[in-house]
Amino acid sequence: MRTMAVFAEYIWMDGHRPTQKLRCKTKILPLDAVGSLEDLPEWGFDGSSTMQADGHSSDCMLRPVSYFHDPIRGGPHVLVMCEVFNADGTVHPSNTRAKLRAIAEKAAGEECWFGIEQEYTMFRGMQPLGWPENGFPAPQGPYYCGIGADEVFGRDLVEAHLAACIEAGLAISGINAEVMPGQWEFQVGPVGPLEVSDQLWVARWLLYRVGEEFGINATLHPKPVKGDWNGAGAHTNFSTKAMRSEGGIKVIEEACEKLGKAHKKHIGGYGAHNTERLTGLHETCSIDEFRYGVSDRGASIRIPLATAQAGKGYLEDRRPAANMDPYVVTRLMIETICLDAPGDKALETVQVRA
Ligand code: ADP
Ligand code: MN
Ligand code: MN
Ligand code: MN
Cβ neighbors of 266 (< 8 A, separation 6 or more) are: 259, 317, 319, 332, 333, 336
The phi-psi region of residue 301 (left if phi > 0; otherwise alpha if psi is between -120 and 50; otherwise beta) is beta
Q: Which residue is closest in CA terms to ligand 1's atom 2?
A: 304
* pLDDT tens profile 174-233: 999 999 999 999 999 999 999 999 999 999 999 999 999 999 999 999 999 999 999 999
- How many angstroms separate the Cα of 343 from the Cα of each of 63, 273, 337, 347? 33, 22, 11, 9
Which atom number of ligand 1 is nearest to the Cα of residue 176? 7
- How many angstroms separate the Cα of 153 from the Cα of each of 104, 120, 129, 177, 181? 39, 13, 6, 9, 7
Preceding omega of 93 cis (within 30 degrees of 0): no
Average pLDDT value for residue range 337-347: 69
Closest by CA to 81, choosing from 32, 28, 37, is: 37
What does 260-321 look like in DSSP terms, one character per residue?
HHTHHHHHHTS-TTGGGT-SS-TT---TT---EEET-TTSSEEE-HHHHHHT---EEE---B
Closest by CA to 347, choosing from 247, 243, 231, 262, is: 262
Q: pLDDT confidence of 2, banded at 50, 70, 90?
A: low
Mutate to test the pocket of ligand 1, among 187, 252, 295 (most ligand atoms within 8 A of CB): 187
Q: Inform me whether the pLDDT recorded for 82 exceeds 50.
A: yes
Query: What distance in angstroms lies between residue 115's CA and the mean position of ligand 1's atoms?
Result: 5
> Is the shortest distance between the CB of 189 and ligand 1 below 6 Å?
yes
Q: What is the pLDDT of residue 9?
A: 98
Cβ neighbors of 163 (< 8 A, separation 6 or more) are: 71
pTM for this prediction: 0.95
Give the ligand whose atoms come closest to the C-alpha of residue 231. 3
Rounded Cα distance between 174 and 271, Å, is 23
Please report the domains of the chain, with CATH numbers, ordered by start residue.
5-93 (3.10.20.70), 104-346 (3.30.590.10)
State the average pLDDT for the chain. 94
Longest dimension (CA), the chain: 61
* pLDDT tens profile 121-134: 999 998 999 999 88
Q: What is the pLDDT of residue 55?
A: 77
Average pLDDT value for residue range 64-91: 97
Preceding omega of 18 cis (within 30 degrees of 0): yes
Q: pLDDT confidence of 32, banded at 50, 70, 90?
A: confident
Average pLDDT value for residue range 280-301: 94
What does 129-184 look like in DSSP terms, one character per residue?
TT--SSS--SPSSS-TT--STTT---HHHHHHHHHHHHHHT--EEEEEE-SSTTEE
Query: What distance in angstroms lies between residue 119's CA and the mean position of ligand 3's atoms?
Result: 6
The tally of CA atoms less than 13 A away on the side-chain side of residue 71 is 18
